Chains A and B, each alone.
Chain A
């Protein structure tokens, strides 16, 4: 069923203020459209129920990667290609670059944006686990002002977020606190490019003398939301990751994730893979 073209509106106010004014005038009525790699797929399939779209693709205010002493701040429209090319991200936040590299093919990476990946709120998205382990913060702007919220907690349920109907995600901020960390990312899917994950795992950890001083773990495709696995982290924090401890952590992980059977994989397989990736992560950071 093809989309009925005349029934869709798409407007391009050309400035952030113009977009925010529109979102404020008719809250919840307008859907921001960036690179289109998610929305245009639904549109062509005749499944895009939202009929009023506002293009934000050309907004200079939402572009660019800025460095300050404490943060690297990414404009909402930062594409996967721009993430891959960024020297500071490669150096300090390599999991984000790896996630970008394994999302779609080059054409998708040239148009897909980090903010789109976040706001589309798919539990199978590849950049959210990396953003979660890097303690990302999001700037949500509206005509009334702006607020920063932690990314951990942004997703409140399947496709549900704390974003208000008149708000737009404008920037993503990463604290520059990854010094000395070991980084691990692995996407398990049918194919490297153009395949959606069965399980996606991101983790960073700091080890001292055989013990894990601190760590953060997040997974995709194993819960209704991209999930930071805090209970599993608790089992491992301060511990030496020996055989028994790894088993205990794997058990905690199985209790924390809630994977489902779907056309891409099964709950049982996803649980096993998540546990195996956890063991591989712990071996990698030692």
Chain B
């Protein structure tokens, strides 16, 4: 048996102190304790990417991270991408190109795209597909999602 522990981390730029069971999934803590419900749960087993967040700048599936391992990290969720009222360029591109349908995969898709463009500012089609391969869209709107990422890459030039 174990009790709750105190975790200190930075979420979307704000220092947070969280009380949680050490094996609580980062996904559940973000959604239920911090009300960051832009983090979605799809499969719960690391296959679909709906729960993607950035931890210390790296894309991870938050359903597979026990919150104890978030101690001392900096986490970015979809809620932390915009600057005030100004959307992130990738969010703007998804809006402009119709990159969202039902919206469940969208936060994960956008974070995977942000991660890809950080590593590779001008990806080709195959690189975009590989960068988003861990994110499943059940509306199967992939073509517009790829177009959105291309648009975001263009807008950064």
Contact = CB atoms under 8 A, between A and B. Distances in A.
A106 B21 contact: no
A12 interface: yes
A55 B133 contact: no
B69 A105 contact: no
Interface stretch (A35-43, A131-139, A182-190): A35-43
A104 to B, nearest CB: 6
A43 B25 CA distance: 10
Given A6-B2, A12-B71, A45 B45 contact: yes
A100 to B, nearest CB: 13
Interface in A1-33: 3, 5-12, 33
Contacts of B133: 105-106, 192-194
A111 B21 contact: no
Contacts of B69: 12, 36, 55, 57-58
B2 A40 contact: no
Contacts of B80: none
Contact of B64 (A36, A45, A55, A193): A36
A36 B68 contact: no
Contacts of A53: 23, 66
B60 A193 contact: no
A122 interface: no
Q: How large is the interface on B (under 10, 10 to 19, 20 to 34, 35 or more residues)?
A: 35 or more
A108 interface: yes
Given A37-B46, A55-B69, A104-B46, A194 B134 contact: yes
B68 to A, nearest CB: 5
B66 A108 contact: no
A111 B130 contact: no
A107 B25 contact: no
A110 interface: yes
A261 interface: no
Contacts of A81: 58
Contacts of A33: 66
Contact of A3 (B23, B49, B59): B23
Given A40-B66, A110-B59, A111-B60, A9 B131 contact: no
The list of the 6 closest CB pairs from A to B, nearest first, reads A105-B134, A193-B133, A10-B22, A40-B64, A5-B21, A8-B23
